[in-house]
Amino acid sequence: MINKLLIANRGEIACRVIKTAIAQGIKTVAVYSDADRNALHVKMADEAIYLGPSPSKESYLKSHVIIEKAKQLGVDAIHPGYGFLSENAEFAKLCAKNDIIFVGPPASAIEAMGSKSAAKHIMEKAGVPLVPGYHGDDQDESVLKAAADDMGYPVLLKAAAGGGGKGMRQVWSEKDFSQALNAAKRESMASFGDDHMLVEKYLTRPRHVEIQVFCDTHGNGVYLFERDCSVQRRHQKIIEEAPAPNMSAHVREKMGEAAILAAKAINYVGAGTVEFLLDEDDSFYFMEMNTRLQVEHPVTEMITREDLVLWQLIIAEGKPLPKAQNALTLTGHAFEARIYAEDPKNEFLPSTGTLRLLHAPEENDVVRVDTGVEQGDEVSVFYDPMIAKLVVWGENREVALKHLTSALGEYYIDGVSTNIDFLKRVASHPSFVSAELTTTFVEKHHDTLF
Ligand code: ADP
């Protein structure tokens, strides 16, 4: 039983997890850095632990300090949120060693998905469809180039250790290969301390569709349908939605089953997301599996009316999945817009400062705002500058989009630059309205969006 939960995170996701814990009568422990002394997640929790100075390395990533304090306070379980320690296999092991439940998958599953090339080997064996490409160990330039020449250009070079779109390069012709490879390797080495590369066929008009899966410790797995996260900028998601527009029930089922197959291949437990690229001809390919709760999980909660954090806690306690596949239903349509303190006029650079005015749309049955800040708070240089996630639901896509547009119109923020006007332009763009979504949406409509 989980009686006391520590949330090893900050911001909106820490607040989100605390809400469910409170509703379940679970005592909560927050952690904080210097910059977060007065943060909302600290105020919401029953107890709070000071970790150290503001930089993440000196606070939110201090796994040993977190474990020590958790033990002192009699914590039963730790929820890592997303980012920080959430996909750190060593941290999951450290929890287990100290008899604390890690609300997430076993360390072995995190490790298996930690490298894109290792993950592809496992998925290939399990029969999960992969993007055509090379994910071998031989990293000789001639081998990588031969693989690219064979499959034909364009190709995408990807860092095996990659994440957040780093260490990726498109290559459009043979003559550009060498230079692109060196650039991708350099970036990968700088970001991840490793320059192992994959070569993939570059799909020119794919959609990013991901499946939410849950597995329990009794060998059961279900999928809670999909999210379309095609609208991206530099591989960063901007507006996500569920279900994926125009996806047939047949493709949904096939992709859901492939996701379960992927999860079972690594003996997965807990909440996970299997990301696929969906091509124009409805073929889909495994990209990677994220072994944590995703930023965009609320759109799934809106269309399934399930509390995904509650599911995580139930599974972490060793109980079976709350629902079987045939008991899960999909109702209506949901969007999530990520409200960021950033400057679209200046390369989307983070904008720091005091939130002198923070007026969010009122929450109701169809509008939900997940945030970790209040008016007067500081958006600092230390962390991700997300201010909030605006989530809306409607009985169909058209209605949901109306709610999104009007809710965006109710946002007033002063003190930092935000992407709200940019989000409004995306949401009202004729191609977005008619759901012509591909991962190149922003690039393609650059002139009308900026
Ligand atoms: P990261 O882990 O760095 O986020 P991913 O492998 O998840 O990298 O890919 C991020 C994004 O890059 C995807 O959402 C998609 O838009 C694009 N992408 C990845 N692989 C391909 C591919 N083979 N062809 C076209 N686009 C791709």
Reported as a single tens digit per residue, the pLDDT across 332-355 is 999 999 999 999 999 999 999 999
Reported as a single tens digit per residue, the pLDDT across 62-79 is 999 999 999 999 999 999
Cβ–ligand 1 contact at 241 (below 6 Å):
no
pLDDT, mean over the chain: 97
Q: Are 288 and 261 in contact (CB under 8 A)?
A: no
Mean pLDDT of 362-374: 98
From 15, 73, 6, 17, select the one nearest 292 (Cα to Cα). 17
Cα angle, residue 204 at apex, residues 202 and 206 outer, rounded to 5°: 95
Whole-angstrom Cα distance, residue 172 to residue 77? 48
Whole-angstrom Cα distance, residue 148 to residue 164? 23
Count other Cβ atoms within 10 Å, centred on residue 117: 19
Reported as a single tens digit per residue, the pLDDT across 185-231 is 999 999 999 999 999 999 999 999 999 999 999 999 999 999 999 99
pLDDT confidence of residue 234 = 86
- Residue 56's identity, in one-letter code, is S
Q: In percent, how much of the chain has pLDDT > 70? A: 100
Cβ–ligand 1 contact at 157 (below 6 Å):
no
Q: Kindly give the distance from the C-alpha atom of residue 320 to the centroid of ligand 1, in angstroms, as a whole number.
A: 33
Burial 26-36 (b: 16+ CB within 10 A, else e): bbbbbbbbebb
What's the count of helices (H) and strands (E) in the chain, helices before strands?
A: 16, 23
Instruction: Quote ipTM for the complex.
Output: 0.97
Measured in degrees and rounded to the nearest 5, phi and psi for residue 250 equal -70, -50
Asked whether the bond before 154 is cis by omega within 30 degrees of 0, the reply is yes
Q: Are 300 and 389 in contact (CB under 8 A)?
A: no
Given ligand 1 and candidates 198, 277, 291, 294, which is best to mutate, with the most ligand atoms within 8 Å of its CB? 277
Least confident of 159-168, 258-267, 298-307, 393-402: 159-168
Cβ–ligand 1 contact at 133 (below 6 Å):
no
Reported as a single tens digit per residue, the pLDDT across 13-45 is 999 999 999 999 999 999 999 999 999 999 999
pLDDT confidence of residue 171 = 98
Q: Kindly give the distance from the C-alpha atom of residue 235 to the centroid of ligand 1, in angstroms, as a whole number.
A: 7
Mean pLDDT of 227-243: 95
Cβ–ligand 1 contact at 277 (below 6 Å):
yes
pLDDT confidence of residue 165 = 82
Cβ–ligand 1 contact at 203 (below 6 Å):
yes
Cβ–ligand 1 contact at 163 (below 6 Å):
yes
In this prediction the pTM is 0.96
Q: Kindly give the distance from the C-alpha atom of residue 399 to the centroid of ligand 1, in angstroms, as a whole number.
A: 30
Cβ–ligand 1 contact at 442 (below 6 Å):
no
Q: Kindly give the distance from the C-alpha atom of residue 412 to the centroid of ligand 1, in angstroms, as a whole number.
A: 33
For residue 235, is pLDDT > 90? no
Q: Which protein residue has the closest C-alpha to ligand 1 atom 23?
A: 202
pLDDT band at 10 (very low <50, low <70, confident <90, very high): very high
Least confident of 162-171, 220-229, 285-294, 313-322: 162-171
Q: Kindly give the distance from the C-alpha atom of residue 309 to the centroid of ligand 1, in angstroms, as a whole number.
A: 26
Mean pLDDT of 102-131: 96
Q: In percent, how much of the chain has pLDDT > 90? A: 98
Whole-angstrom Cα distance, residue 298 to residue 47? 26
Q: Which protein residue has the closest C-alpha to ligand 1 atom 9?
A: 165
Whole-angstrom Cα distance, residue 251 to residue 284? 9
- Catalytic residue positions, numbered: 292
Length of the chain: 450
For residue 116, is pLDDT > 90? yes
For residue 164, is pLDDT > 90? no
For residue 158, is pLDDT > 90? yes
